Amino acid sequence: DKENAQANAPKLPFQKPVLPDKGLSKEFANVAVLTSEPLSSQAYYVKGVFPKEIVRQALLIGGRNGLGLKTRDASLRGEVQLIENPETFPLKLLTQIDSRREVNIELERPHKEKEAYRWFSDPFTLPEESALETLIEKCEALSRNEFVDALKSAGYTGAAPPWIEESTIPEKTQKQLNEWSFIAQYTVIQDMHAAIANEGESPERLSVLARSYANLGSLTETLWSPAHKVYKVRGLLYAERLTARMKDSPWSLAHRAYAKALAGRHQSALDDITILRAVEKTNSEKQRPLPDWIDLIEAYCAYQPDVLDKAAQNENTKHLAIYLRCLLADPVGDEKQMLSQTEKLLDLEPACCRAMDRLCEVSSLGILRRVTEQRMDQMWPRLYQKLLESNIRKPLQIPIRIYLGSKDGLINEQDTRLKVIDFLKKTELNEMEPGLNGLGQLLQEISFLHTCRKLDVLTGSLSLPADDMLPEFRPVVKGHPFEQYIESFTSKPADAKAAYEAFLKSHDPQEMQINMTRLISNSYYKLNSQAYTTLFGEAIKNVDAVYQDQLAHAYWYQEMKSASDKDNYQQITGNLLDISPHLPQTVIMNLAANSEYFKEHEEELLKKYGQSPMVLSALVNKYLANQNEAKAEELLRKKIAIAPDHRAYIDLAEMYYKRGETEKWKETMETALELPSLGLQNANIESKLAYYYMEQGKWEEAKPHAVKAAMTYSGWGLKCAAKCFEGLGNLDQAEALTRACSMRYESSAADWYFWCVRTNTGDIDSARQLAEQRLLANPTTSDFTQMMELGIFQLTQGLKSEAFGTFSTAFQKYQNAYLGLHAALLADELDLTNQRDELLAQVSALWTSDFGTAELANRFQRMLHKPDTDWNAIWFQSLLVQVGEGNPTNYYYFAGKFLELRDQKKWADVYLQSAASSPTFNKYNCVLAAQHLRSQKKESKSLRPTELDADYHQARQLLNKAAYLNQTGKREEAIKVYDEVLKRKPELTIALVNRGQVQEALKNYTAALADYKKAIEIDPEYWLPHNNLAFLYAGSEIDEFRKGDQATQHAQQAFELLPTKYWVTYSALAVAHAATGNFEKAIEMQNQALKLIPETGQAEARRRLKLFQEGKPYR
């Protein structure tokens, strides 16, 4: 039979297996050493580090608690050190999760002289909801049964520590468990593992392990290492082990809720609390009482800060209450509260590195400087004191005690730090569980993070070169896997690029984390976009379904502000709602991303978060977006009453400014100056007040404010004062301030030279040398500003062909309309007509992103098509009042140069003079205009107080006020403001067009038609009123105004007036053809519009297309 045939078959000779190149020495033969293999998961929401580690850590717990083995984990840097010519090999664990969430686990242990042992789990399927919790439950069960049997079969020997129903926890351990120092928590973990190995496993010991691992994970979560997730997962698994042992008793569920809360699974923690409270009420048996901290865990997850504040006054609960309260306070949205709570935590635990790092998340420069220049270094002696209370060996205690006992400062702290870290990292791996080498690795992680924070502030906030500091930092980060990143802070672009190239080759993608913000973002500028895409993609793969990761991920998309990322952003904010629905950051993100969320929760949010400054700010923005300015102002005033800060006052002042209430704006700004300034807040307000007075030509009134702004030595403060002194006629002082800014800030290095060119005074030779160092020493195409400045510099040197090449290259790379128009005008000067025409068309096509420059380029095209056409000054003035500050100066120069080449000298001279005498002389076109006029022996006019002539400046302010009133739903008031504008400037066609649009919104169609027709009467060749008439005639819901033929006529006229067509003109043709029943043509035009329309308008455009396809007109 078959069995006998197999038994009698000849035995095949044993084939030696193919073994890994590296492995372990023989003393690890009975140590469960586990490699770190990537997770293979196709299931959404079951990806990242947590699912992988849940399976891995369950296996290690099976070895540790099921067989009494020592364990070593390759997910913790330094714990697994492989050697050549090994005697034994580590375990390899592979986990696969398919798209249906079916989990399959494979375990392998290679052997030298026999086939590798392999074990396969029975597959199990995770539910769609609570997938992580189910995975934890399943794997914890495996850790008590199948994993233990598998390890035995793989050749490991040992016995499980006995189960003890009850044990006591030493007072020292209880004390350290309440300390918010990672060293104290690490020590507690070591002591509990030793107690279990020596005396047995008990509910108390498991509970301490669950909490201490959770604490350690939370305390280390800002480090650039996935170790914190390993610790959090261990805490979750030990908590699950406790609930299994204690049959889901309320006491055990409380510990599971604790572990979940600190791991970032807040809603899941609240679910456990709901269950335990229900069980506690119905359970009559005398069981362990609930821990006194369970109310604090609930208060943290459900956002009840008052409960935590009260508990912070209680000696028994203050340690956890203060820590959780600190985590609740946001460093950006509620800086004042965060600083207060963080200082309380540091008073309680001076060695809390997590608290110190939170201080680096604020925006106040003063705080950042004190932390990175002083307080971080002051923390190390406190860490050494904690080490003396830990399980370190006596030989290491000696240098620590010598350093701490040294009062004369002769012993260098950094030398002591390096000795301590080196000693711990070289400690025998088998000595403790977890090993002391892991503690050394954490100390190096802290040191590395401190170094990164210092360099961020030095090079980012202060804009100082780091080259002189790098030699001091190198020993501190030596041996860290990311040490190449530190080299990227050099001021030499080639060296920074090389550092990133080395980093990309050496780093482990599994260690990339979403909190490595600067490392990832800097790769774009210092290497290339591909590096950024690679690193960001690696970090995203390691994002977990926990609060901290999802929040950091949401911040990425929020900062990108890209419409194409809207769906992803909404998905992430939805994840936050599932994971942690109550924390303020979740609320704020969903207010921004989800309009339905606000509608459903408005009353609840106002009630629950009425004392949260950051949520109030988000609600203000929401009410403004919903045109409820009164409610927005009410909440702003409430925020000021609760937590007065500069941001709230500035927001309120800006509201007044948009209404045209400039006196109220000024009073509010001056009131804000009475607040204490933690950084540059007061100086920023001083600069705004200075510009307010300078705009009115009140240079003396501006001076004290400008000087105070400059006293910070910030770039914007120095520039503000330089402008003021130039307005006062003190060019020497203005140059001194401009020079100081250029010498101090690399990004402003060329400003001094451009100032000298514009004013035709100053030390231009020295200024040019400094500019050349910035622009010519390390040329690059990856820096937008540098390329733009290089093109301007070349123009000032008369190098027009070179400037054309620079602007053309930069335009193709960045698709910036300003660069493109410079390239087009240079092509015009150089008689490169084909390139000029192509560039003008390309710039005109950027209407969606820069309508003003596109409009100007299209106007130039029209004049080139009709060379005898005179310049339309009325149209140009209407364009200037629509665009933001600085743009008129640029447009004056562009129009002046273009008209000069067309021999229309009257307007050319007017516009070049306007550009040269503009008060926004930081614009490069102001520099070019001044130099160009000088080359023609023409003197520039004196500096104007406003960018536009006085009457048009006031008209622009009124137009902005009217637009704001319309935006906030006050349309009747907006019309009154437009009336005032038109009384002053009846020829301002854009005022007529805008008033017509408001009249349409009010269904005053007769008035709207009159405004559009009047605009056409003044400027028959202005395309926009024709376009608006097309929509009105085609889409009005009132029969008497619906006139398909006239809609088509005006749509066609608007279309023909533009050499380069805009999507909105295709849309107008589409609705016009649909109004006449020509749906075939309507569909053709709407499809053309869809190719050009931005993402934000795609949904409405597709809705219209569907109407046309169904044979229905637009309404």
Residue 345 burial class via C-beta count within 10 angstroms: exposed 0-12, middle 13-18, buried 19 and up? buried
Residue 713 confidence (pLDDT): 92
Residue 363 confidence (pLDDT): 86
Q: How high is the mean pLDDT of the chain?
A: 93
Q: Parallel, antiparallel, or unpaired: how do β-strands 102-109 and 117-120 relate?
A: antiparallel
Residue that is last in its domain, among 110, 131, 153: 153
pLDDT digits (tens, 9 = 90+) for 196-244: 999 999 999 999 999 999 999 999 999 999 999 999 999 999 999 999 9
The whole domain housing 1030 covers 1023-1115
Q: How confident is the model at residue 3 (pLDDT cuts 50, 70, 90)?
A: very low
Pair 117, 236 in one domain: no
Q: 147 in a domain, yes or no?
A: yes
Residue 316 phi, psi dihedral angles, 5° rounding: -80, -25
Residue that is last in its domain, among 153, 175, 198: 153
Pair 73, 104 in one domain: yes
Q: Beta-carbon neighbour count of residue 732 at 10 Å?
A: 10
DSSP 135-199: HHHHHHHHHHTHHHHHHHHTT----PPPB-S-----HHHHHHHT---HHHHHHHHHHHHHHHHHH
CA distance 575 to 577: 5
CA distance 1005 to 855: 27
Residue 463 confidence (pLDDT): 85
Assigned token pair, 1009:
């038609």
- Which of 264, 204, 254 shows the shortest CA–CA distance to 231? 264
Residue that is last in its domain, among 752, 773, 794: 773
Is residue 32 scored above 80 in pLDDT? Answer: yes
Pair 168, 246 in one domain: yes
- Determine the average pLDDT of the residues in 762-773: 96
Q: 6 in a domain, yes or no?
A: no
Pair 197, 272 in one domain: yes
* CA-based radius of gyration for the chain: 34
Check residues 354 and 288 and name the one with the higher pLDDT.
354
Pair 1113, 1061 in one domain: yes
Assigned token pair, 1068:
């107008």
- Which of 154, 140, 118 shows the shortest CA–CA distance to 60? 140
Q: 361 in a domain, yes or no?
A: no
Cα distances (angstroms) measured from residue 522 to each of 361, 473, 517, 539, 553 = 18, 19, 8, 14, 17
Is residue 15 scored above 70 in pLDDT? Answer: no
Pair 129, 172 in one domain: no
CATH of the domain at 51: 3.40.50
CATH of the domain at 254: 1.25.40
Is residue 286 scored above 80 in pLDDT? Answer: no
Judged by average pLDDT, the poorest of 421-435, 707-721, 862-876, 1004-1018 is 421-435
- Which residues does 1052 contact at the CB level (< 8 Å), separation at least 6? 1069, 1072
Q: 502 in a domain, yes or no?
A: no
Residues 486/456, Cβ–Cβ less than 8 Å: no
CA distance 988 to 874: 7
CA distance 942 to 914: 10
Q: 687 in a domain, yes or no?
A: yes
Pair 227, 114 in one domain: no
Q: What is the separation, in whole angstroms, between the first and last Cα of the chain?
A: 83
Highest mean pLDDT, choosing among 77-86, 178-187, 416-425: 178-187
Domain total of the chain: 4
Q: Beta-carbon neighbour count of residue 198 at 10 Å?
A: 8
CA distance 119 to 319: 45
Residue 598 confidence (pLDDT): 94
CATH of the domain at 723: 1.25.40.10
Is residue 147 scored above 50 in pLDDT? Answer: yes
Q: How confident is the model at residue 562 (pLDDT cuts 50, 70, 90)?
A: low
Residue 83 DSSP label: B
Residue 486 confidence (pLDDT): 97
pLDDT digits (tens, 9 = 90+) for 668-723: 999 999 998 878 889 999 999 999 999 999 999 999 999 999 999 999 999 999 99
Torsion (CA) 849, 853, 858, 860 in degrees, nearest 10: -160
CA distance 483 to 474: 8
CA distance 359 to 678: 12
Q: How confident is the model at residue 4 (pLDDT cuts 50, 70, 90)?
A: very low
pLDDT digits (tens, 9 = 90+) for 594-647: 889 999 999 999 999 999 999 999 999 999 888 898 999 999 999 999 989 898
Return the H-helix or E-strand segment holding 286: none
Assigned token pair, 879:
């364009």
- Determine the average pLDDT of the residues in 251-280: 96
- Determine the average pLDDT of the residues in 950-961: 92
CA distance 372 to 460: 13
Q: 273 in a domain, yes or no?
A: yes
Pair 199, 106 in one domain: no
- Determine the average pLDDT of the residues in 941-952: 89
Pair 178, 137 in one domain: no
Pair 149, 165 in one domain: no
CA distance 356 to 343: 9
Q: How confident is the model at residue 782 (pLDDT cuts 50, 70, 90)?
A: confident
118 beta partners: 108
Q: 1033 in a domain, yes or no?
A: yes
Residue 200 phi, psi dihedral angles, 5° rounding: 130, 165
Q: Where are the beta strands (DSSP E) in 246-349?
A: none
The pTM of the full predicted model, rounded to 2 decimals, is: 0.86
CA distance 821 to 811: 9
pLDDT digits (tens, 9 = 90+) for 352-370: 999 999 999 998 888 999 9
Q: 899 in a domain, yes or no?
A: no
Cα distances (angstroms) measured from residue 914 to each of 519, 637, 894 = 44, 42, 11
Pair 143, 228 in one domain: no
Pair 127, 213 in one domain: no
Residues 865/1111, Cβ–Cβ less than 8 Å: no
